[in-house]
Amino acid sequence: MTKSETMQTTSPFGFQMFTHEQVKEINKKVKEHIVHEQDPAHAANHATKTGEFSNVPCRPLMNLIHPWLYQCQLTNRNVFGFDVYWDFHLEGLNYNVYKMNDEYTWHIDATKEQKLDMKLTCLLNLSEEPYEGGEFCIINSNENVKFTSGMGLIFNPLIAHKVTPVTKGERITLTYWASGPLWR
């Protein structure tokens, strides 16, 4: 695959990262370090976003989530090849809880208001119990993206995607947006 083919890929890259017990431990640590909750009304690109969304600093979680962030770096190196800063000690994460009927309609993660260019969206599924609905979908893709507890997912933030309404249970994710210098 050439560099230009890699940049245009619409398929997310998934990988199993953590056990059920590790997921519970990460959730516990995240809840201890929530900085503030976000208003879902400020969803990207006028998308509908319902659920509970919080900011969490990356640094206090590093011992627990390092394997996931390392896998994101490795996937970038081997698949995307984007110029990313990876400044974990300076950055934050989003903690997303989708309950019954919560969803996030079609959107892209990158916006014009950013001072840096967002290069990758990195998701980690932290759901402690099975849920129904809450599927992760990529536009123009016929394949269903399997995204289960303890699994990481990495994809290009310029590709439209959504989370379908949760119909049973609770879908919990952690998001890291890898940014870098402006695209050239």
Per residue in 112-142, pLDDT (tens digit) is 666 568 899 999 999 999 999 999 999 888 7
Which tens digit of pLDDT belongs to each residue from 29-79? 999 999 877 766 555 567 889 999 999 999 999 999 999 999 999 999 999
Q: What is the pLDDT of residue 117?
A: 85
139-167 exposure pattern, b = at least 16 Cβ within 10 A, e = fewer:
eeeeeebebebbbbbbbbbbbbbbbebbe
User: In angstroms, rounded to a whole number, what is the distance separating the alpha carbons of residues 180 and 116?
Assistant: 6
Residue 124 near residue 65, CB atoms below 8 Å: yes
The single-letter code of the amino acid at 176 is Y
Q: What is the pLDDT of residue 1?
A: 38
Q: What is the pLDDT of residue 2?
A: 42
Residue ranges and CATH numbers for the domains of the chain are 13-180 (2.60.120.620)
pTM of the model as a whole: 0.89
Mean pLDDT of 14-36: 94
Which range (25-29, 49-53, 167-171) has the least confidence? 49-53
Backbone angles phi, psi at 167, to 5 degrees: -105, -15
Q: What is the pLDDT of residue 114?
A: 60
63-77 exposure pattern, b = at least 16 Cβ within 10 A, e = fewer:
ebbeebbebbbebbe
